[in-house]
Structure 1
Amino acid sequence: MMFADEKELERELSRPSEALVAEAAEWQEDVIVLGAGGKIGSGVATMARRALDEAGRKEVRVQAVSRWTDREARDRLESVGVDTVVTDLSDPAAVDGLPDAGNVVFLVGAKFGTSTNSDEAWMTNTVLPAYVARRYARSRISALSTGNVYPLTSPMTGGPVETDETGPVGEYAITCRGREQVFTHGARTRGTRVALVRLNYACEPRYGVVADIARRVQAGEPVDLSIGVVNVVWQRYTNEVVLRALGHADTAPFLLNLTGPETASVRAIATQLGEKLGVTPNFVGTEGETSLLNNAAKCHALFGYPDRTLGQLIQLQADWIGAGGNLWNKPTKFERRDGNF
């Protein structure tokens, strides 16, 4: 399915499934989305609001927290019934003044530029979560993390599962592991119910690994094969799993890998995109023996498979870029092996 414009795309990205609507019907307290001004936040907040509305729970509020430098994005959320809150989450006093909410979705993080400004990574990814863990000690928290907390592994292993040892490489990954530990500390010392969602590469036509590769193929730029295989997942499914993880939050933190079921060849993705765009891709480098991978079998057993396959994501991307669709200038840098972003 091709989307006519970004408005139609965003409506699909925020579409709740029947399963989420059924779960939202049981939510007894308000929902607050922290870091709602980022790539994922708008879709998560809107999906929560739509799920509650469809469940007949209009009295449960959804509040979206950000500094809101983008007034248009804020207006779009308010137009669908999401309340917006302007707050600098790096200020502990501001965090203490946030509205009460029984359901907290934590999407705040610093990735790009962290190799040169590592203090920013530590502040945003570890100190700020401590403020939130203290403020919402009696809530249940679904906190977005990353598969970067795992070491690079061989595709032959199937990728790390939640019980495997972590092995973060680089300041970004190390501080993300720190964020997990801060929330885990809150769970142990305050009895906070926590879910930690380790995401590998959510994709939609404007952003993600598939968009990065498509942009390079179309422009005739070389596709780097340093990371030879990747895990990707449809953004709508990502938004839903982050919300449904609230129902599994526990004082022994619930760990969940979130990605698609395929271990996808970067070369194959580029080749398929090239065929659809009428361009022969160029490659640089060679595939390494290891990649950043994530085994999400547990997620699929709980929530089902993503509603778009890898092949459908590739086709959607080719259609979007071929039609001149908007691309965000936010490269994922998935090809980095050293963890420096």
Structure 2
Amino acid sequence: MESMKQLEEKMTIPSDELIQDFSKLDGDLMILGVGGKMGPSLAKMAVRAIKGGGLPKKVIGVSRFSSGTLQKELEDAGLETISTDLLNDEHLQQLPDVKNIIFMAGTKFGTVGNEHNTWAMNSYLPGRVAEKFPHSRIVVFSTGNVYPLVPVLQGGCDEEYPVNPVGEYAQSCLGRERIFTNFSYRNQTPITIFRLNYAIDMRYGVLLEIAKQVYAEKAVDLTTGHVNVIWQGDANEYALRSLCIANYPPTLLNVTGPETISVRWLAEQFGRAFNKEVQFVNEEQSTALLNNSGKAHQLFGYPKVTLKEMIGWTAEWVASGGEVIDKPTHFQERQGAF
């Protein structure tokens, strides 16, 4: 995995199961907040699934598209696009009524000092969207941060585990869930709440951050000593297929890989790949932010891209100086300050 072309191709391949699920859905698909880290590849996968099934549907991508070439890139890939500010209610109300919605809009980094905007994006906007689309199926992107740190030996939180978010970002994300749930009850809106952590591709994510530290011969912090990860392509497929399990009250779904992964072990894997000695600081704490995604794997199967593949691809990417997205996960953060 050494080029953007390879990465794009791998991340957007639709499975036969996704094509079959799309054939069961009536109506078009609109992705709100398509301009984020995952939105473009999710949108392109959806277009490829529709084309692969010869289905009479279209995909609409909604974002501010305030800079760069993403809007043209998505249109070239077969999407219709709408440039709008979702927090502008007049603009929101002008969006077309679409049967299937993926809600990806939100904010995380920069919350400290800008808490009011975080709550507006993560908790206020969901209510406006839920009122605008009472009869749509909606997959709502959320986060595993709504759960507390739990003992590593426990195996992670499943969907029945009590939420207890740490910090205003995580609290506002729980607010998003609660607001969508309220309107699901009120309007019988079918919803899936998609609690994700941590998706990766070669350009960002937990594996890249650890690999870069090892490659630069910097010490790896072990305080948060265990993580979950999932390939972005697998997470995107789960999200698109989650339209088929949307229900009222909402379906809760944890989404990540099957492993509870040692950060120390990951660093050592990259050390071998780069032929570099690995340095560590601090000791592993007994708790971490960990999800149990057994329900998602039961519904949709295990991720198609394995942890070993992700590690190998990431090592190749770092060694070859591949493009990166400067949006660190801050997976080490234990006080909820983003």
Q: Does 1:297 align with 2:294?
A: yes
**TM-score by structure 2 length?**
0.98
Q: Give the AA of the match of 2:209.
A: D
Q: Secondary structure at the match of 2:191?
A: strand
Q: Look up the match of 2:311.
A: 314
Aligned to 1:7: 5
- 1:116-160 CA distance string (max 9 Å, x none): 211111011000111110111110000110000000001111111
Structure 2 residue aligned with 1:46: 44
Give secondary structure in 1 for the equivalent of 2:335.
coil
Aligned residue number for residue 339 of structure 1: 336
Residue number in structure 2 paired with 1:28: 26
1:278 to 252, 275, 279: 275
Q: How far 1:280 sits from its partner (Å)?
A: 1.4
One-letter code aligned to 1:131: R
1:158 aligns with 2:155: yes
Equivalent residue runs for 1:166-205 within 5 Å: 166-205=163-202
> Which residue of structure 2 lines up, in the alignment, with residue 244 of structure 1?
241
Task: Name the counterpart of 2:75.
Answer: 78
Aligned length: 338
Query: What SS is found at the alignment partner of 2:160?
Result: coil
Q: CA offset at residue 338 of structure 1? A: 0.5
CA distance in 1: counterparts of 2:218 and 2:123, whole angstroms = 37
**Among 216, 231, 236, the residue aligned to 1:234:** 231
Determine helix, strand or coil for the equivalent of 2:37.
coil
Q: Percent sequence identity over matched residues?
A: 43
Q: 1:64 aligns with which of 61, 64, 71?
A: 61
- TM-superposed CA distance for 1:290, in Å, is 0.2
User: For the residues of structure 2 that align with 1:332 and 1:105, how far apart are their CA atoms?
Assistant: 22
Partner residue of 2:106 out of 102, 106, 109: 109
Deviation per CA, 1:226-248: give whole Å up to 9, x if none.
Answer: 11100000110000001100000
CA distance in 1, matches of 2:17, 2:67: 32
Query: Tell me, what secondary structure is at the counterpart of 2:288?
Result: coil
Asked if the contact 1:226/1:336 (under 8 Å) is kept, the reply is no
CA–CA distance in structure 2, aligned partners of residues 262 and 294 of structure 1: 10
Amino acid in the other structure paired with 1:52: I
The letter of the residue matching 1:32 is: M
**Contact 1:130–1:183 (Cα < 8 Å) also in 2:** yes
Residues 25 and 244 in structure 2, CA contact (< 8 A), matched pair in contact too: no
CA drift at 1:11: 2.0
Q: C-alpha distance in 2, partners of 1:291/1:226?
A: 9
The answer to whether residue 221 in structure 2 is matched with residue 219 in structure 1 is no
Residue 316 of structure 1 aligns with an amino acid whose one-letter code is W
Normalised TM-score (structure 1): 0.97
SS in 2 for 1:25: helix
State which drifts further: 86-95 or 29-38: 86-95
Deviation at 1:27, TM superposition (A): 2.2
Contact map agreement 1:257 1:298 (CA 8 A) in 2: yes
Q: Distance in 2 between matches of 1:87 and 1:224?
A: 40
Shift in Å at residue 7 of structure 1? 2.3
- For residues 173 and 213 of structure 2, what CA distance do their matches in structure 1 show? 29
Q: How far off is 1:304 after superposition?
A: 0.5
Whole-Å separation in 1 of the counterparts to 2:106 and 2:212: 25
Q: Which moved more, 1:239-248 or 1:324-333?
A: 324-333
Unaligned ranges ≥5, structure 1: none
Q: CA deviation at 1:260?
A: 0.2
User: Partners in 1 of 2:169 and 2:270 — Cα distance?
Assistant: 30
Query: Which of 259, 264, 267 is 2:264 aligned to?
Result: 267
Q: Secondary structure at the match of 1:251?
A: coil
User: What is the 5 A alignment of 1:117-156?
Assistant: 117-156=114-153
Q: CA deviation at 1:292?
A: 0.2
Query: What are the Cα deviations for residues 275-328 of structure 1, in whole angstroms up to 9, with x where unaligned?
Result: 101221221221111000000000001101111111111111001111111121
Deviations 1:6-34 (A, max 9, x none): 12211221111000001111221010000
Q: Distance in 1 between matches of 2:207 and 2:235?
A: 15
